[in-house]
Amino acid sequence: MKEKKYILGLISIGTLVLGAVFKVNHWPAAGIMITIGTLLVVFAFLPLALISNYRIEKNRANLPLYYTTWVTCLIVMSAMLFKIMHWPGAGILVVVSLPFPFVVFLPVYLYVTSKNKNYNMYNMVFVLFLLAVQAMFAALLALNVSRERIDDSLTFAADYNRVEEKIRPVVKDSGADDSKIVVDINATLKIIDECQDMLFTGIGVTEKTWEEDPFKVPYMDSRGYLANLLIYNNDNAPGIMLGKSLDNLFNDFKEMKGSGASYDTFASIINYQREEDDVNSWSETLFTDNYLSWVLIYLDELEVNLLFLKSVFI
């Protein structure tokens, strides 16, 4: 029995820790591992450990403490799981889980242990310390607004997709007599499509899913592996080529008559800035420092703005 308990405990905690590492690094399958680990702890390891301890002590007076311990862990870990996974009802669960250990568990714990004259006071200090850590962790989870910000940003994605759908038929395809700036805009639009296709393929969705309902696209809060997909393959990676193509457009505007005003206008519309001595600085900043949702939204914004610019020059 003890051996099974220890093995199950190692598997449960190991799964949780591994899921936390994946979550911190925004890697796929983090949510699955955290969910499985939490379920194993609450519904497998903890009941087995409590039952094993009860059989050793054989003291029915401690039964209320065992039940309360399990219910407290169920509520607290469920609240943390719901908050980490951004499931509906997470806010309510966090609010309930914050006072629950102090209002329910602690009185039962003090009542049961007060009857034991040989009880070690250091255990009491340890329990209080754990409750304080739990309260701080739950509070930090409650303050986490990154997912809410990501969800709000997806509204812009839907707007850009709608505008792009309407403007594309209006902007004619380039022909042999197009100006250099139109040719470069078309080349940039093609690279944007390559970046989007690579990102959608990397997370296992289609562009149609993104266009119809961005909220159904997973891993919106992930970042890190985007760089491997778009800029760290080689010098001809789509992310690097996009920066170079935007550089070409900047040069086109500089060469136009009245280049000062045109250049400033282009810079304001496209929101493209890089260090003078580093051609790849913009690409690295965009694709390594931002969430996936914001990268996709920026690419949509860039695509729409370039289509508007193209409509001016054709």
> In the structure, what pLDDT confidence band is assigned to residue 63 with cuts at 50, 70 and 90?
confident
pLDDT at 291 over 60: yes
State pLDDT tens for residues 247-289. Answer: 888 877 777 755 555 656 666 777 776 655 555 567 777 787 6
Q: Report pLDDT for 145.
A: 45
Output the pTM of the full model: 0.56
Give burial (CB, 10 Å; 0-12/13-18/19+) of 172: exposed
Name the amino acid, one letter, at 119: Y
Which residue did the predictor score with more confidence, 221 or 233? 221
Q: Name the range with the highest mean pLDDT among 44-58, 133-147, 266-280, 292-306.
A: 292-306
% of the chain surpassing 70 pLDDT = 75
pLDDT at 73 over 60: yes
Q: Report pLDDT for 273.
A: 67
pLDDT at 190 over 90: yes
To 5 degrees, how large is the angle CA 32–CA 33–CA 34? 95
Task: Supply the DSSP symbol for 216.
Answer: G
287-308: average pLDDT: 85
Q: Report pLDDT for 53.
A: 81
Burial letters 208-247, b for 16+ CB under 10 A, else e: eebbeebeebebbbbbebbbebbbeeeeebbbbbbbbbbe
H-assigned helices in the chain: 2-24, 30-40, 46-57, 63-85, 90-97, 100, 106-114, 121-142, 146-167, 180-203, 207-212, 225-230, 238-255, 259-270, 281-289, 292-313
Q: Which residue, 159, 158, 170, 165, is CA-closest to 213?
A: 158
129-155: average pLDDT: 63
> In the structure, what pLDDT confidence band is assigned to residue 189 with cuts at 50, 70 and 90?
very high
